[in-house]
């Protein structure tokens, strides 16, 4: 077993759900101000399952509702069909599949080596110097032999030919494949000899070597630009195949951008060098289907759709005679419309909410024990199993105080507190925060959560301006509104325009509170933007897909010490 596999096993050993690392990458960027930046990160996936909660939510089976259940609970129905057909064998198969998670991907280099076609190999040289070190003898001597061989004694010629054969680098750059047919490398000292017939042998040889080196350097850079561009495209297609939205534009590749041309304004960082290991076979093996073929599933959608918000606020005002009067205490008598277990009746004519109601226990397994939610809460709360996993990831490595900056109805805050963290839960909507507090009470953790009803930007500004007011925060969790379920209809989700408020601003502000950030986002968020955040944070990153019952639902991007790091790297630091 490779050392990387061991450390992956070690790290995921205490996660509740199977977890795997699918890829690793390192990218060198040139930023708009010409400064350099390096980002390193991992692509990972958590395999979360909540069939039991889905099953518990299932509507009793009157004939007329059969069709609806099948659409709403498609994931569960699918599983049930399988189970019916396969009976016990199916359970066994699933068990084996679960156990298969323990076999984590091996770094793919061995497999690739086997597939490599002879003569087509490439070596990723780190610099011209590295290339020149391995090729200078061959380049200068072979071209010298070509130009002056006829003037040598036969023995000398033979000897030099032999040496050149021996010194040929295994991976010459494209321009040097047929070196002797390349006119840039023929008779390079001709001009010197013509203009200076008195030149000595040593002078001609020195000039020859210098011209060959200069020409090689030019050709090396052309080759390198093409190579990096090829690698950019290759990495992007691999990332896509794993179900991520890359978001990089061609103008960011070196071949499409002249790095030396300073006259152009670079809006986005340009890739100078890229290295990666991505094991696609692993994703296919464990997910069954190609993630791109997944049907859109919006049950975890975060939404602030205007219509919904309007309806939501009218709902919220049902019992508030005076809307300016904010009541933080939940009154079960007058606020029955918030009680989640009443939702079947309350939203009887609201098919959108019915859909979520028939999956209700996946949102809160203790829903019947007094969970309260406004209408938007039904759309936006993180499914409990995903929230559990995120808490598993965040509350470790000495993380004991977590800020949940957009608490909503509290799904995530509760899980952080259940893992033993002290949570500072912020939300600007008093009704939401009231729900979160009541829900925390249901889970017995309200004493471990401080609720702050305010704009996160104001809270952050206060903490940043007056350090004495600022608590010692170990990690920030961000789950801002994603701007309506339509986010999945677009190929890529833009962090700046898709989130409300702007997702990049949210990150900038959070960085002032803590470098350890977990960002909960749509699964199609642009990877390019997420790497730009890592540049700002000067941190490594991890983009973790949450696969819920084999469907990739969301991603959580970890920065700072929350990001996965191999054991050996941890030890080094
Ligand atoms: P979740 O419940 O998973 O956190 P939502 O999309 O409903 O998902 O969460 C968004 C929450 O963020 C809403 O409750 C909304 O009131 C809150 N919110 C939006 N903007 C801000 C802000 N600037 N400061 C604090 N809370 C905010």
Structure tokens, 137? 């003898």
Asked if residue 157 is part of any domain, the answer here is yes
Instruction: Give nearest CA residue, ligand 1 atom 14.
Output: 408
Rounded distance from Cα 552 to ligand 1 centre (Å): 23
Quick: pLDDT tens for 106-118.
333 344 444 444 4
Instruction: Give nearest CA residue, ligand 1 atom 23.
Output: 455
Calculate the average pLDDT of the chain.
Answer: 80
Edge-to-edge, what's the strand order for the sheet holding 541-548?
270-278, 19-30, 36-48, 541-548, 551-559, 517-522, 475-478, 401-404, 422-426, 449-452
Please indicate, yes or no, whether residues 149 and 68 belong to a single structural domain of this protein: no
Instruction: Give nearest CA residue, ligand 1 atom 9.
Output: 408
Please indicate, yes or no, whether residues 152 and 55 belong to a single structural domain of this protein: no
Rounded distance from Cα 481 to ligand 1 centre (Å): 6
Rounded distance from Cα 49 to ligand 1 centre (Å): 26
Which residues, judged by CB distance below 6 Å to any ligand atom, belong to the binding site of ligand 1?
Answer: 302, 376, 380-382, 406, 408-409, 411, 426-429, 432, 455-457, 479-481, 501
What is the Cα 477 distance to its own chain's centre? 16
Rounded distance from Cα 407 to ligand 1 centre (Å): 6
Ligand 1 nearest atom to the CA of residue 482, by list position: 6
Instruction: Give nearest CA residue, ligand 1 atom 2.
Output: 408
Cis peptide bond upstream of 501, omega within 30: yes
Please indicate, yes or no, whether residues 54 and 137 belong to a single structural domain of this protein: no
| 562, 528 Cβ separation under 8 angstroms | no
3-state secondary structure at position 254: helix
Quick: pLDDT tens for 172-226.
999 999 999 999 999 999 999 999 989 999 999 999 999 999 999 999 999 999 9
Quick: pLDDT tens for 429-471.
999 999 999 999 999 999 999 999 999 999 999 999 988 889 9
Please indicate, yes or no, whether residues 196 and 320 belong to a single structural domain of this protein: no
Please indicate, yes or no, whether residues 69 and 133 belong to a single structural domain of this protein: no
| 196, 239 Cβ separation under 8 angstroms | no
Length reported for the chain = 573
Rounded distance from Cα 442 to ligand 1 centre (Å): 21
Asked if residue 35 is part of any domain, the answer here is no
Quick one: pLDDT at residue 332? Answer: 82
* Count: domains in the chain: 2
Please indicate, yes or no, whether residues 158 and 66 belong to a single structural domain of this protein: no
Rounded distance from Cα 209 to ligand 1 centre (Å): 66
What is the Cα 123 distance to its own chain's centre? 27
Give the structural domain span for 212. 128-222
Please indicate, yes or no, whether residues 468 and 324 belong to a single structural domain of this protein: yes
Quick one: pLDDT at residue 67? Answer: 43
- Greater confidence (313 vs 559) lies with 559
Please indicate, yes or no, whether residues 321 and 179 belong to a single structural domain of this protein: no
Ligand 1 nearest atom to the CA of residue 432, by list position: 14
């Amino acid at each position: 077993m490779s050392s990387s596999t061991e450390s992956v096993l070690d790290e995921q050993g205490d996660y509740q759900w199977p977890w795997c690392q699918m890829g690793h990458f390192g990218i060198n960027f040139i930023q708009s101000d010409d400064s350099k930046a390096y980002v390193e990160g991992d692509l990972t996936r958590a395999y979360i399952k909540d069939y039991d909660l889905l099953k518990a939510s299932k509507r009793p089976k009157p004939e007329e509702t059969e069709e609806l259940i099948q659409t709403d609970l498609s994931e569960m129905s699918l599983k049930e069909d399988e189970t019916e057909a396969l009976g016990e064998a199916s359970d066994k198969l699933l068990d084996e599949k679960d156990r298969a998670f323990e076999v984590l991907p091996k770094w793919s280099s061995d497999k690739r080596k086997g597939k490599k076609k002879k003569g087509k190999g490439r070596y990723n040289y780190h610099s011209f110097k590295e290339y020149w070190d391995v090729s200078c003898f061959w380049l200068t001597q072979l071209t010298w032999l070509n130009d002056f061989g006829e003037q040598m004694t036969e023995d000398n010629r033979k000897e030099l030919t032999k040496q050149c054969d021996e010194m040929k680098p295994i991976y010459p750059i494209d321009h040097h494949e047929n070196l002797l047919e390349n006119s840039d490398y023929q008779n390079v000292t001709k001009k010197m000899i013509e203009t200076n017939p008195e030149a000595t042998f040593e002078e001609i040889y020195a000039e020859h070597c210098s011209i060959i080196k200069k020409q090689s350097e030019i050709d090396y850079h052309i080759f390198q630009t093409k190579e990096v561009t090829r690698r950019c495209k290759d990495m992007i297609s691999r990332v896509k195949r794993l179900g991520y939205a890359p978001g990089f534009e061609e103008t960011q590749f070196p071949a499409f951008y002249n790095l030396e041309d300073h006259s152009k304004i670079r809006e986005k960082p340009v890739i100078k060098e890229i290295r990666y290991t991505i094991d696609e076979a692993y994703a296919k093996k464990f997910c069954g289907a190609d993630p791109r073929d997944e049907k859109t599933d919006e049950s975890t959608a975060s939404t602030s759709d205007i219509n919904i918000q309007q309806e939501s606020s009218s709902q919220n005002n049902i019992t508030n005679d005076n809307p300016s009067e904010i009541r933080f205490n939940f009154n079960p008598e007058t606020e029955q419309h918030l009680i989640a277990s009443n939702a079947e009746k309350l939203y009887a004519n609201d098919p959108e909410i019915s859909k979520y109601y028939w999956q209700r226990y996946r949102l809160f397994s203790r829903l019947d024990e007094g969970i309260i939610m406004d209408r938007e809460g039904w759309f936006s709360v993180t499914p409990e199993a995903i929230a559990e996993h995120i808490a598993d990831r965040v509350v470790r490595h000495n993380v004991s105080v977590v800020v949940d900056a957009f608490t909503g109805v509290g799904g995530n805050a509760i899980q952080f507190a259940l893992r033993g963290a002290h949570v500072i839960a912020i939300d600007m909507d008093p009704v939401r925060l009231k729900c979160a507090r009541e829900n925390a009470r249901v889970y017995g953790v309200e004493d471990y959560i401080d609720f702050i009803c305010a704009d996160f930007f104001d809270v952050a500004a206060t903490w940043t301006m007056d350090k004495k007011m600022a608590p010692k925060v170990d990690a920030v969790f961000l789950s801002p509104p994603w701007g309506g379920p339509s986010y999945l209809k677009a190929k890529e989700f833009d962090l700046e325009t898709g989130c409300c408020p702007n997702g990049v601003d949210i990150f900038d502000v959070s960085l002032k509170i803590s470098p350890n950030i977990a960002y909960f986002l749509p699964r199609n968020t642009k990877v390019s933007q997420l790497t730009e955040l890592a540049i700002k944070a000067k941190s490594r990153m991890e983009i973790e897909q949450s696969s819920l019952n084999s469907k990739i639902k969301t991603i959580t991007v970890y920065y700072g010490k929350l990001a996965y790091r191999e054991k050996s790297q941890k030890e080094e630091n």
